[in-house]
Amino acid sequence: MMKSKSGLLVEVKEIKGYCPAYRVGDSFMIADGFKLVCDQPVCLHSLASLMPYYVALSHGVSPVELGLAREGEVAYLQCLDPCHLTGGGTVVFSVKRGHRKVSPVRTRRKKGQKRGHRTASPVKES
């Protein structure tokens, strides 16, 4: 039986290769089962990989039942970029149900470093 719909927190867990859009720790949310909530640009490749599953996950269908996890309540997806063939980056996302608010990690890149190769460090906001 499906539960009532809930928000999904989508977080970047790993990047293979170079990704110009994300860095590890970036996140966005799908609220109320259909509203994209984010404080930064979102790559369409990541949305394409999430599209077949977000409704089921937001209604409480188990990631194990969907083949998106071996165990537990966290789903894992990856974007569609085959980095070994394109020179781009394949991003692995975790998707967790039940989150209502997004608190993205804001990071600063080191001088001369490209976006996909940053080391996350919190930015102090005034």
Enter the DSSP assignment of 117. Answer: G
pLDDT digits (tens, 9 = 90+) for 82-97: 888 888 889 999 999 9
Model confidence at 22: pLDDT above 70: yes
Q: Tell me, what DSSP letter sits at residue 74?
A: E
Is residue 121's pLDDT more than 80?
no
pLDDT in tens, 25-70: 999 999 988 899 999 899 998 999 999 999 999 999 999 999 999 9
Tell which wins on pLDDT, 84 or 118: 84
Average pLDDT of the chain, as a whole number: 81
